[in-house]
Structure 1
Amino acid sequence: MAPSLSDLYQILRLPRISNVDIENRCVIGRSSSDNGFLHLAISASDISTYVLTPSPKLVWSYSLSPSIIVKQLTVLESNNKVYFAASLYNSDTKKHALKIVVNDSLLAPKASDDQSQSADQEVKVVDVEFSQEIKSISFSKNEKLIYLLMASGEISSYTFNINDAESSFIQPVSQCKVSNNNKSTMCYHKYISNIDGSGSNSAAVNNNDGFFLTVNQRQNKNLSSTIIMLHNGEMSELTNNSSISTGNAKNEEFAFTYNSGILYVIAIKAKTLDLYAIASGSLIKQLSLKPLFDLISTKQQITEFTRKNTGMVSPSDNRVLINLHHTIFLINTKFETVLSDYQLSADKPEDDIAGCLLLDIGEVKGTSSKSYATSLNLLMLHNNDKNYTFHNLAVDVGNNSLVESLGKGIEVYCEKSGVSPTQEKSKVDNLVVEYLITEKNLCQKKQEFGVKNKPESEKVQAFIDSLTGLSKSHKSMEFDLEFINFVKHKSYKLDKIKDIYSQISDLASSGEVFTDVRHENDAIYGFVLKETSANKDYRLSNKMFQIILDLIFSTTNKDGEFTYKLKNKKFVPKLGLIYLINSNLFPLSYSCNGLLKKFKSEPIILNTIISNYDLQISVEDILLLLCDISQDANTNVAALNSNKWLETDDVEDVEMEVDEKPESTVANKELELLFKKLIRMLLNTKAETQIVKTVKTLLNSSAKEHELFNENFEKLIYNIVNLNYGIKLLNLVIDGIGILNFKFNNDADKMTELIKYAGFKIREVMKFEPIEEVLDEIILACDAKLERSRHADLKSKMKNKKKNSKKVDNRPIVSTNNVTSNSVVDGPKIVSVKNNKVDEKLNAIVGFEGGFSQDEKYGDKIPPYSIERLINL
């Protein structure tokens, strides 16, 4: 996806208090585990935990005194316990303190779904007073120590044990004073779990409890940075850079952030962004932000930029988010480009926003299609009611490629977006004239037709009423027309929607709907799929979003379990559904409830669901649809039952072609592309253990809705082999349930044929894995199963033949551990033999002559072969 900033939504409104600035209003406690919790500490309110999906919900809170100001929060999640360590300041007593709150049941399974838990009954608390502010807090890896960074630069470590009021304690272990912070002020600090480019490979550096990075500003305005390593309760300085920057302007102010060994520094007065390597303190590069500052100053009439209206965070390597007076820019520092921007005042009147603080952002790699999405947490102060609101902004950082930065240089961006003051004044004058003319014409029309202006609520109600009527009459195209025109502020005619539907039908019939490549001239791509949640779209509220869904889906509640289905199969508004499914407001309860099966007959919607990994489609739904497709694909099972090569009595005469591959058995291109895309979705987004567990459950289930899976599982396996796609899934199934536990395991011929058919893929499957482990399992399994069927007959035939030949012990010794010098395969040895005759016979069976040379790799030369023949040679 292209880099973007989108979908700002409010999580909560903070309680109103006075005399607390925005920087001390709220802090986020980010834990090492990614379990979907949001931990917050709100001054004069509480320490609380929220879940954000499918909608924000408070799950736990611990109340704080109205006089408490929160400075820092660190969270440790371990053994179903959650440790909240908070740095607090009491505005009444003027004292600083460390408070540790332990919740024993937040991560434990709940017997009921209460909105929040009682803090008084389920927490243990320890308070320790300090003479100065605690700037940063960190737990050790063994979870027995806690490190504190003080405002003076002193770092202390403590042991702690929190059980009950009598046995709880926190005791000092050691302390360290940063050497370069005399007569200086700490202006930035950050705890870092790992440091890139530290320049040390010692065991202490690689096996530590993390690092504290501090930046101090001296009286001469010079900046200095220090890295302190934390290790088993001891602290030591790794680097001490006496001067990393000098402000050129008088009373210079700075904004800081850190990512991947780079310290980013904005000199606000100088309007520059400096990048420093923290290991050496050397300047990597300097970017001029003057065009951006001037652009915001011109457009929003800002006379001065300070630390209060300028902020910065870094979501990924070479990318930073910079806030300049309510406008957020995503900047690539490597190519010096503006990848995207977001104006907070676009959602609210500009004079309503009094302040904005970028609190925290989840860090991602940002180098592939799987590591681009994250979210920014920010705090906003409103002028009208002086309230603070906590918001979340979706961020796509891109993949750090040159392609996504082309034509987006900082100066080029500002030239496209900016206007001079003269142009601005002229533009305003023109708008005033246009407004007066419009108002005059509107008044005339009111007099002529008696029409009154509708308020926003009436427009929304009229929109909902129109959709309701179209839903009842099952008019899908008209529904799409009304929906798209309202949400995307368009004025399309019905012919436009019909043309889109026609293109959808053409794509579906050709199978191209399931391809991942789209073109700018593709009307569907440009109309809906390219940007479904642009900043200019109408903002649908949660309630309005649910009303629209209820017009399409019906809900059934059975014993507390909700199921959803289409109200009428004839009413499927394709464009509206694509927009709704791609929205972050789309409920996960819908996507986890057979969403794929509902739209099996609508390829364009099905492709949208499969392409959106955020929907969290269940493994069961994916597997059920794969089996359903395998049934529709009309797999040619008869071709697998020919067994002609089993009719010969002479093993030596069996010929198998190494490069021979079976033809695809899927009936048409559309189903084949869908089959492969579902396989990719399954293997890329789901854990291997989860896939194996679900397959076992479905095969052993007697539920009516799972009958299809049992009936078509055989065809699913054949399609994986025949299409030469998804061999990893086949490997997982075999590892999880055993090849002899398939539904068709009683038919020895089919088993042998399946092994033969899978044979030509052995070298690909085992290219990066020890082949002897797989063969051990297959040989033992086949030996146990086939011995009760065809195995005895084949052995008898072989014995009769040996009576007429010379009595030479030419049986191979099957072994995966101890092998002789006459091994057939170099590398991991599969079979060893006693004489050259059997060696030649085995080579004839596996389909090639000459064996292996010593320098050949086993993964490149293993041809198709029959495990049954290998055992009974």
Structure 2
Amino acid sequence: MAPSLSDLYPLVSLPRITDLDLCHQVVIPTITSTNTTHIDIGISKSIISSYILKPTPKLVWSFPLSPSTIVECMDVQETDGNSTDFVKTYVVGTTERKNYKALIIKRHNDTADHFEIKLDSKVKGVKLSKCGKFVYAILVNGGLKLLKINDDNLEDVSLDLQLKSGNELVYYKFISNHDFKYDNDLLLTIESNERSLVYKLTSLNYEKSFEINQFSHFAECQSIFTYQSGILYEFNIDKLEISSRSIIDFKVLKSIKVDSIIDAPTKSINDYSIICPSDERLLLSWKSKLYLINFKFQSLLDTYTRLDKIYIKQVVDVKGSSTNTSSTFAIYLHYNARKKNTSLNIINVNTGINSLSECLGKSIVKRKNDSEFKGLTNVIDDSFDKESTKVSKELKEIYDELVELKEKKNINKWELIVVPYLKNKSWSSIKKTLAKGTPAEEFSVFEVENDRVIDPHFISKVLSLIFDEQLDFIPEYTLIYLLTHPLFTYEHTKGLLSLFTQLDKPRLLRQAIITCPNLSIEEISLQLNNDNLEIFQDVITRLTNEFSVNQITHQLNDILQSKQNNLNLETILNNLIKLNNNQSWYLIQSIIDVGGLFNWSMNTVNNLIEIIEDKLASIMANNYNLTLTNQAILINEPIRKLNKNKKSGKKTTEKSTNIIELNNEIQQQQLNSILSIQNNAGKKLKDDGIEISKRIPNYSIEKLIL
């Protein structure tokens, strides 16, 4: 499934908190599993609360706060009490005017006990120890407190790892899973002073906590941070640059620029947020946009946009190395400027599997010279530089020739150049062919083993020549080949299917639907209106292979609400019923979800009822036959006694083997006698399940002889 961002549902609407920035209004503890059924939320000047997520979000517990209490941080730990009482421990760092506190709440089903301790500095982070008897509290000045949880109070244990005075904590992360030789949890902190950033890694071992390493460097710019699997990611707001650092020595490993996707950057640090859902995948929010970025391949995987400001608060970590470990969800705040309210929302995130193929055509790196091409040759060749320069000049010459042919509208000569060259034919032999005026070869497709390795920029420039504003030059052989090429650029896929539909090019349309990479779900979904059933089948195949039901449903809903909506759900549903296969049923649920239960004609409803009744009859018939088969085998399972007249001289092992073989043969004969009844049904249905059930009638109708 392709990497994507798709809005799921709103979780809660927040009270109006006018004197707090969006990023400070809500605190959410770390969520450890994508299968969680509940979520805990700390809402400043309101409540500490717990919500269930399924089947619909619902408040199940709350603890009130005073109107002046700001929630700075929170951690939650679930423990089993006695057989009738459930215990959940909340530790919350709060600020109430100039009073700084650590608050403990022990929740017993519907009741809660609480107690607190005053501290001399603002608490920015808290962490319950694994045993649940201690709390680590990181202060705004970088100091570390160890608090012991007693029955009815908090005790300040003698531990204080405060750094130099004047430092201010800008980021912290409690790390439980790491590759260090220490078995303890780690604390990663970043503090700032007037001229530098101080990176610090501490081993947490109760009273014996100690510093592992520390690093500082000059930095006057604003930065925000996130952490994943031993790597610290730093987003420099002034430079619009993301850097990665290993927490072993805090040296920069790699940096990428994101100025190509942030077109009008602001200097306010609260306009940005960054979080890492899996290795080398980042979620970056800026104003009303949320970006999914692949750091390794410097690619923009997907973009999600709301009308007003959004801010990412939490994401569930996943491995992101396979399709089974790439789906997760994130929680973000959304401020609606028109209604002047803030809501907490959940969004589906598919991180992808961190492969090059899913990043092709999505680069965020700006090309320095748009008119130059790179010559890609064999790196083992001793004359690599010479060959690379030669190929670069060759590509420039070919492109100039294509520009001239485009102006002359000479499609035949164009076709003699592009595909043959990409098929590894030499430029010199192509020029000889052009002089002869040979007709162009017909349709060819990309073959990874045989075709030329080419600069992606060359493919992009060729596509730009074809898809200009005039649209009177359509070299079909070239397009068929390029639509199968993995380097078909993302920017040229926007509106591609609609264009081929308008130009009445069904061959190009089908080829694009089946093989063109980087097609968006919106682009494909708009083709569900196509009257050609073959093309319609191609569309639903592409949709079901690459996108989930939730993604398809959300996209169809967005299209219906847009001004350019031209989808006819009734027609789409009837076409799906006509196809009546697994892929069509995969989409039927999305169509019904979007269209509602009461917006269909009686003819459509009756068609659905007929198919569903046939499927139910098939299930019942198969269930009867399966029960009969199991019972027949179980009744005849005891091994029949062997003939007493068998020779007694046979070995015990031979007897055992003969018994097993004889029993297996008997069972196979019994099963064959059950399954060999002829099909007396007349009409054949498309559904294989129904057809099988007709071949094996119910035992209540026909007699079986074993």
TM, length-normalised to structure 1:
0.49
Query: Aligned letter for 2:153?
Result: F
Whole-Å Cα distance in 2 between the matches of residues 54 and 586 of structure 1? 18
Is the 2:292–2:301 contact (alpha carbons within 8 Å) kept by the matching residues of 1? yes
Whole-Å Cα distance in 2 between the matches of residues 67 and 25 of structure 1? 12
Q: In the TM superposition, what are the counterparts of 1:228-239 in structure 2 within 5 Å?
A: 228-231=202-205, 233-237=206-210, 239=212
Query: Aligned letter for 1:378?
Result: Y
Q: 1:536 to 1:184 in 2, by over 3 A?
A: farther
Whole-Å Cα distance in 2 between the matches of residues 184 and 389 of structure 1? 34
Whole-Å Cα distance in 1 between the matches of residues 125 and 592 of structure 2? 34
Whole-Å Cα distance in 2 between the matches of residues 49 and 58 of structure 1? 6
Deviation at 1:56, TM superposition (A): 1.9
Q: Secondary structure at the match of 1:370?
A: helix
2:626 to 690, 699, 712: 712
Q: In the alignment, what sits opposite 2:213?
A: 240
Q: In the alignment, what sits opposite 2:131?
A: 142
Query: Aligned letter for 1:36?
Result: T
Q: 1:37 to 1:490 in 2, by over 3 A?
A: closer
Structure 2 residue 15 is the aligned partner of structure 1 residue 15: yes
Q: In the TM superposition, what are the counterparts of 1:566-645 in structure 2 within 5 Å?
A: 578-579=586-587, 581-582=589-590
1:90 to 86, 89, 96: 96
Q: In the alignment, what sits opposite 2:285?
A: 323
Q: In the TM superposition, what are the counterparts of 1:354-753 in structure 2 within 5 Å?
A: 355-411=309-365, 496-497=530-531, 499-500=532-533, 522-526=538-542, 532-533=552-553, 538=558, 578-579=586-587, 581-582=589-590, 709=623, 711-713=625-627, 743-748=631-636, 751=637
Identity %, equivalent residues:
24
Q: In the alignment, what sits opposite 1:100?
A: 104
Q: Secondary structure at the match of 1:183?
A: coil
Is the 2:147–2:154 contact (alpha carbons within 8 Å) kept by the matching residues of 1? yes
Is the 2:31–2:315 contact (alpha carbons within 8 Å) kept by the matching residues of 1? no
Is the 1:488–1:536 contact (alpha carbons within 8 Å) kept by the matching residues of 2? no
Whole-Å Cα distance in 1 between the matches of residues 92 and 609 of structure 2? 51
Q: In the alignment, what sits opposite 1:124?
A: 113
Deviation at 1:213, TM superposition (A): 1.1
Whole-Å Cα distance in 1 between the matches of residues 52 and 543 of structure 2? 34
Q: 1:276 to 1:130 in 2, by over 3 A?
A: same
Whole-Å Cα distance in 2 between the matches of residues 65 and 415 of structure 1? 59
Q: Secondary structure at the match of 2:201?
A: strand
Higher relative contact order (CA 8 A, sep 6+): 2
Count of equivalent residues? 485
Q: Secondary structure at the match of 2:324?
A: coil
Q: 1:582 to 1:84 in 2, by over 3 A?
A: farther
Q: 1:70 to 1:576 in 2, by over 3 A?
A: farther
Q: Deviations over 1:253-288 (max 9, x none)?
A: 001000010000011112211100002212111112
Q: Deviations over 1:788-813 (max 9, x none)?
A: x52x446x455x523xx8xxxx546x
Q: 1:492 to 1:357 in 2, by over 3 A?
A: closer
Q: In the alignment, what sits opposite 1:226?
A: 200
Q: Deviations over 1:681-718 (max 9, x none)?
A: xxxxxxxxxxxxxxxxxxxxxxxx7x964641475xxx
Q: 1:170 to 1:35 in 2, by over 3 A?
A: same
Whole-Å Cα distance in 2 between the matches of residues 343 and 491 of structure 1? 20
Q: Secondary structure at the match of 2:589?
A: helix
2:190 to 199, 209, 215: 215
Q: Secondary structure at the match of 1:99?
A: strand
Structure 2 residue 140 is the aligned partner of structure 1 residue 151: yes
Q: In the alignment, what sits opposite 2:232?
A: 263
Q: Deviations over 1:341-368 (max 9, x none)?
A: 1222xxx3xxxx2x43211111111111
Q: In the alignment, what sits opposite 2:173?
A: 190
- Give 5+ residue unaligned stretches, structure 2: 81-85, 371-521, 562-567, 596-606, 666-706
Q: 1:239 to 1:182 in 2, by over 3 A?
A: farther
Whole-Å Cα distance in 2 between the matches of residues 370 and 32 of structure 1? 16
Q: In the alignment, what sits opposite 1:677?
A: none
Q: Deviations over 1:270-325 (max 9, x none)?
A: 221110000221211111223233xx21xxxx5x3331112110000011011223
Whole-Å Cα distance in 2 between the matches of residues 407 and 491 of structure 1? 22
Q: In the TM superposition, what are the counterparts of 1:338-349 in structure 2 within 5 Å?
A: 338-344=300-306, 348=307
Q: 1:387 to 1:172 in 2, by over 3 A?
A: same
Is the 2:243–2:252 contact (alpha carbons within 8 Å) kept by the matching residues of 1? yes
Q: In the alignment, what sits opposite 1:45?
A: 46
Structure 2 residue 263 is the aligned partner of structure 1 residue 286: no
Is the 1:7–1:533 contact (alpha carbons within 8 Å) kept by the matching residues of 2? no
Query: Aligned letter for 2:227?
Result: Y
Q: 1:535 to 1:35 in 2, by over 3 A?
A: closer
Query: Aligned letter for 2:101?
Result: A
Q: 1:147 to 1:291 in 2, by over 3 A?
A: same
Q: 1:406 to 1:127 in 2, by over 3 A?
A: same
Query: Aligned letter for 2:90?
Result: F
Q: Deviations over 1:76-131 (max 9, x none)?
A: 1121322121111112xx201122222222xxxxxxxxxxxxxxx51111222222
Q: Secondary structure at the match of 2:23?
A: helix
Is the 1:488–1:538 contact (alpha carbons within 8 Å) kept by the matching residues of 2? no
Q: 1:279 to 1:601 in 2, by over 3 A?
A: farther
Q: Deviations over 1:427-453 (max 9, x none)?
A: xxxxxxxxxxxxxxxxxxxxxxxxxxx
Q: 1:19 to 1:327 in 2, by over 3 A?
A: same
Whole-Å Cα distance in 1 between the matches of residues 255 and 524 of structure 2? 42
Q: 1:397 to 1:236 in 2, by over 3 A?
A: same
Is the 1:31–1:75 contact (alpha carbons within 8 Å) kept by the matching residues of 2? no
Is the 1:5–1:342 contact (alpha carbons within 8 Å) kept by the matching residues of 2? yes
Deviation at 1:16, TM superposition (A): 1.2
Q: 1:540 to 1:90 in 2, by over 3 A?
A: farther
Deviation at 1:340, TM superposition (A): 1.2
Deviation at 1:51, TM superposition (A): 2.0
Q: Deviations over 1:143-185 (max 9, x none)?
A: 23222222232323333245xxxxx23333442405x554322
Query: Aligned letter for 1:170?
Result: L
Deviation at 1:867, TM superposition (A): 8.9
Q: Deviations over 1:360-387 (max 9, x none)?
A: 1111111111111112211122333432
Deviation at 1:398, TM superposition (A): 0.4
Whole-Å Cα distance in 2 between the matches of residues 190 and 241 of structure 1? 15
Whole-Å Cα distance in 2 between the matches of residues 396 and 414 of structure 1? 31
Deviation at 1:580, TM superposition (A): 6.4
Is the 1:291–1:414 contact (alpha carbons within 8 Å) kept by the matching residues of 2? no
Whole-Å Cα distance in 2 between the matches of residues 397 and 415 of structure 1? 31
Which aligned runs of 4 or more in structure 1 are off by greater than 4 angstroms?
31-34, 412-416, 487-494, 501-504, 526-531, 533-537, 569-580, 582-587, 598-603, 864-869
Q: In the alignment, what sits opposite 1:273?
A: 242
Whole-Å Cα distance in 1 between the matches of residues 54 and 608 of structure 2? 24
Q: In the alignment, what sits opposite 2:71?
A: 70
Is the 2:540–2:584 contact (alpha carbons within 8 Å) kept by the matching residues of 1? no
Is the 1:488–1:537 contact (alpha carbons within 8 Å) kept by the matching residues of 2? no
Q: 1:367 to 1:176 in 2, by over 3 A?
A: same
Q: In the alignment, what sits opposite 2:648?
A: 801
The answer to which structure has the higher helix fraction is 1
Query: Aligned letter for 1:65?
Result: S
Query: Aligned letter for 1:376?
Result: A
